[in-house]
Amino acid sequence: MSEWKAKRFWSEAAVKASEDGYSVLLDGRPVKTPAKTHLVVPTDAMAQAIAAEWDAQEEAIDPLTMPVTRGANAALDKVSVQFKEVAEMLAEYGDTDLLCYRAEGPEGLVQRQTSLWDPLLDWAHDTYDARLLPAQGVIHVAQDGAALAKLSAPVQAMTAFELAGFHDLVSISGSLVLGLAVTHGRLPAEEAWALSRLDEDWQIEQWGPDEEAEAVADKKKADFLNAAKFYQLSRS
């Protein structure tokens, strides 16, 4: 039996401004989230991107081709109703930040991590007065509580829509610092993604690519770049 998919039922998607933000209308009717909340977003740019996603749908609706719509749904249905929990969960990545866990060898990988990751830890210290310390191996090394509190502050200050985009930047990369660097404008998303992949790319250089692993990585990269775009749209 073939999987049922919702069919396109509208002719035109449009954007309408209001006091609360910007709504997307399908033939004059407002779009709602899966939880039946009116989809109202903070910027015209985000609303226009969502309208374009709806307009691009053909006979069947494919949510996988609608990352901005899905991000807005998550912001309204999930993040906004449990903001504190989501913000705290993301801030906790600082205590296990990818950039702090270094290889014990080979020397080439150790040097690559040092030369490319240390400047980001220095940036976090200069920007937030929060020094995270790297260590070799995979055993957890607790970071300074005061530093973690300072890195948590900008996360807590985000809006629900900003946090929805930030969520994937941090959870996909495994790094609070990389997520902050992208949202702060310190790194373009493409570069941040490459920095999060140092270990994997090193293994590929040594042993060659694996098709299945590459497919998974490509999907994660697309999600990471979409998250960066969503964050920017939330502020445009």
Look at domain 83-235 and name its CATH class. Answer: mainly alpha
Place of tokens 């996988």: 64
Domain boundaries, the chain: 13-63, 83-235
Of 32, 68, 51, 63, the closest CA to residue 234 belongs to 68
Element (H, E) at 163: helix 160-173
Q: How far apart are CA 106 and CA 45, in angstroms?
A: 46
**What pLDDT is recorded for position 5?**
64
State the Cα angle at 200 between 198 and 202, rounded to 5°.
65
Fold of 13-63: ATP12-like (3.30.2180)
Amino acid identity, position 41: V
Q: How far apart are CA 118 and CA 122, in angstroms?
A: 6
192-198 long-range contacts, Cβ below 8 Å, gap at least 24?
192/224, 192/228, 193/221, 193/224, 193/225, 195/116, 195/117, 195/120, 196/98, 196/172, 196/224, 198/109, 198/112, 198/113, 198/116, 198/117
pLDDT by residue for the chain (236 residues), tens digit each? 344 467 888 889 999 998 899 999 999 999 999 999 999 999 999 999 999 999 999 888 999 999 999 999 999 999 999 999 999 999 999 999 999 999 999 999 999 999 999 999 999 999 999 999 999 998 999 999 999 999 999 999 999 999 999 999 999 999 999 999 999 999 999 999 999 999 999 999 999 999 999 999 999 999 999 999 999 999 98
Place of tokens 């694996």: 210
Of 157, 158, 128, 156, the closest CA to residue 144 belongs to 128
Phi, psi of 21 (to 5 degrees): 150, -135
